[in-house]
Structure 1
């Protein structure tokens, strides 16, 4: 298809062959892109299963939730209730918010969970504005708490692949073990699907920044 098929080839035949090759390459590219986009939430589900296996009979030392989309903090709070010995780190908090206001805003229902156990340790990060900064502040948090060995990262399912990519780059060889759990999306609405499409672009861009240009904690749009 891609090489010259005949020793003597007319201009019409050559144009037809090139057109067919172009169509084939375009279809192949589209198929690869669609497959990658579809795989993003599947990858998050696989990571969720890995985390469930790791913490089946024990609790994570810390649960780190990256703010942004609805449901993340409420989900982290539900996990904290099941694992009351875990520390909770919430990264990317607006300066006007407290723990409870965050829970009230992001809860999926009218009965938002509350922190009543005095033994629960919750730390807030007010500095982060993007995923790179979320990771950076999580690194700082771990340095301040060297006893933490097992960390469970919480975000939306479309976000997990990029978080893991960044953590793998900056924390390769780290003594901490990182696991990932996520809030799933149904992708039945254009709003959710658009988030997934945008995230696919960000993953590719992040990969180029980290693996090709080898940038430090770069700033996102």
Structure 2
């Protein structure tokens, strides 16, 4: 009985991982409009994509969550070629997040303060599922989350680590933590 149960659990884990690794979320078309864009800092291409969506009028404002405290708005603008007008009107740099969980808290507070009812979440394709799980836990009720995943080439190790983090977080959510 134990061997059958163990084999069943391993098969569920394996099929779950295959789904996770093969069916990574993709980008959202730029013509999908939302009230705001939230980008989680991290791997290459995330901030650039979020700024492109802001410039394409996919949303009127952008939160960059998880910016290093040492980065000044002027430095950010210079690095990503953002005009001072766009920085002033439409870009918020969030300095309070240091991981996915705190990204969700920072983003949810910003969403509530701006009364956004829909958001475009920008992060890496391999990170999208856990980021969404964390964000939905924190967002005010009724906020629609659109997934805008930045394609990447994650290693097998990165996929395995992220899959296990997703399983652990989902288990904690089920346990009410």
Query: Normalising by the residue count of structure 2, what TM-score does the alignment of the two structures yield?
Result: 0.82
Match of 1:143 in 2: 112
Match of 2:48 in 1: 74
Q: Could you tell me which runs of 5 or more consecutive residues in structure 1 were left unpaired when the two chains were aligned.
A: 3-20, 105-111, 216-221
Q: Deviations over 1:107-164 (max 9, x none)?
A: xxxxx74112614411011111111111111111012112x22210111111111122
Match of 1:114 in 2: 81
Could you tell me how far apart the structure 2 residues matched to 1:84 and 1:60 are?
6
Query: Normalising by the residue count of structure 1, what TM-score does the alignment of the two structures yield?
Result: 0.68
Match of 2:129 among 155, 161, 171: 161
SS at match of 2:98: coil
Match of 1:44 in 2: 25
RMSD, matched Cα: 2.7
Aligned length: 174
Deviation at residue 26 of structure 1 after TM alignment: 5.4
Answer yes or no: is the 8 Å Cα contact 1:60–1:83 preserved in 2: no
Task: Evaluate the alpha carbon distance shift between residue 82 and residue 117 of structure 1 in structure 2; reply closer, same or farther with a 3 A threshold.
Answer: farther
Could you tell me how far apart the structure 1 residues matched to 2:73 and 2:96 are?
15
Answer yes or no: is the 8 Å Cα contact 1:73–1:102 preserved in 2: no
Q: Deviations over 1:44-101 (max 9, x none)?
A: 23xx4xx43xx63x53221100112222111212222212752010001111113565
Could you tell me how far apart the structure 1 residues matched to 2:33 and 2:111 are?
17
Answer yes or no: is the 8 Å Cα contact 2:34–2:58 preserved in 1: no
Please tell me whether residue 130 in structure 1 is matched to residue 99 in structure 2. yes
Counting only pairs closer than 5 Å after superposition, residues 1-221 of structure 1 correspond to structure 2 as: 22=3, 28-41=8-21, 42-45=23-26, 48=27, 51-52=28-29, 56=31, 59-83=33-57, 86-99=60-73, 101=75, 113-116=80-83, 118-119=85-86, 120-146=89-115, 148-171=116-139, 174-187=141-154, 192-212=155-175, 214-215=176-177
SS at match of 1:35: helix
Q: Could you tell me which runs of 5 or more consecutive residues in structure 2 were left unpaired when the two chains were aligned.
A: none
Could you tell me how far apart the structure 2 residues matched to 1:95 and 1:179 are?
28
Answer yes or no: is the 8 Å Cα contact 2:107–2:135 preserved in 1: no
Structure having the higher Rg: 1
